Structure 1
Amino acid sequence: MLEVRDRSDSLLVSLSVPQGEGWCLKWNHSVEGFPVLDCYRNEHGRMVLERSHQPDFAAGLGHVPGRGRQVSDGHGGYWIKDIHEPVPGDRYLLRVGAPRVNHRLVREGKTVSLSDLAAGQRVSIGLRPVPAS
């Protein structure tokens, strides 16, 4: 399960993400306003950053040589693919942006706005194992 929890560990969002499947965190760049994506995958219970989409080389964005490969998206932006970077502890902390930034989770065509739920708050986003039944 992909879970988003607030500072008091209350569950805000829970999404099923079976082995081998993925999701993206999408937000609007705080200066330029265009959408940016970081996409993750469940690799045997581990949260792994797979790719990132960036439509411009704006402040704070860019490819780091040796960390994936940069390819054109065909529309003036680029993907950084094949990152394959495990997230330490299978979770990370995020300060959720205001509605204009609109941090949101995207999974199988569904979108959940974290900014609608917790703008300005610190949340943890993590992959948690589902207990065997």
Structure 2
Amino acid sequence: MQRQQQLMALLFICMPFAEVGASPASASASWRLSVTTEQGETLVDRQAPAGSRWCIEWKHSVKHFTVLDCYRNVAGVMQLERSHQPDFAAGLGHVFGRGEQVSDGQGGYWINAINEPVANNRYLLRVGSPAVNHQVVWPDGEHPSVSLSEQAAGQRVVIQLIDNS
């Protein structure tokens, strides 16, 4: 628990404070972050107005350290904004030309400024076991984290940004 609090504090401290300008139409839209199972069960349903941020956090299955992929609603477009990895483990690492790798000051690194739109504002995730503990976290702490692994381990879920206006 203490490690998670340290990572969230680091995430908040390192997070850029500049907001991307949103048009009046997109700013007033009623955006929501939704995570649902293929059977239609809702696991997460939270307001996500333009500028809001959230992360998918999990434990690496081999190295057992915490990884974060962080997203932002940029005027109605879900974007992968940044990623945090404490190691260059299998399947992780920086791809040249995709964001900027910077030290986190604790032996790991952030890949900032990825700013990659997520196709159709949605993607599928195969949720890991409770040991992996895929969860949705909010870096500003406005919502409690939601463990997807506790609710849907081994299942595919749809993570999406929905316009409810």
TM-score greater than 0.5 by the shorter chain = yes
Alpha-carbon separation, structure 2, partners of 1:76 and 1:125: 30
Q: Where does residue 111 of structure 1 map in the other structure?
A: 145
Q: Give secondary structure in 1 for the equivalent of 2:163.
A: coil
Residue of structure 2 equivalent to 1:83: 114
The one-letter code of the counterpart of 1:125 is I
RMSD of aligned residue pairs (Cα, Å): 0.8
Q: Give, in whole Å, the separation in 2 of the partners of 1:33 and 1:97.
A: 13
Distance 1:102 1:11 in 2: 18
Paired residue type of 2:148: L
* 1:95 Cα offset (Å): 0.4
Secondary structure of 1:128's partner? strand
- Which amino acid is the alignment partner of residue 73 of structure 1? D
Percent sequence identity is 61
Secondary structure, aligned partner of 2:34:
strand
Q: How do 1:95-106 and structure 2 match up within 5 A?
A: 95-106=126-137
Matched residues in 2 for 1:10 and 1:119: separation? 13
* Deviation per residue, 1:21-61 (Å, 9 max, x gap): 11000000000110000000001111000000000001110
In 2, the alpha carbon distance for the partners of 1:130 and 1:43 equals 16
- Number of matched residues? 131
Matched, 1:24 2:58: no
Runs of at least 5 residues in structure 2 that lack an aligned partner in the other structure: 1-31
Q: In the alignment, which residue of structure 2 is the partner of 1:127?
A: 161
Amino acid of the structure 2 residue aligned with 1:114: L
TM-score (normalizing by structure 2): 0.78
TM-score (norm 1): 0.96
Higher helix share: 2
Divergent runs of 4+, >4 A: none
Correspondent of 1:64 among 60, 83, 95: 95
Deviation of the 1:9 alpha carbon: 2.5
CA distance in 2, matches of 1:41, 1:130: 17
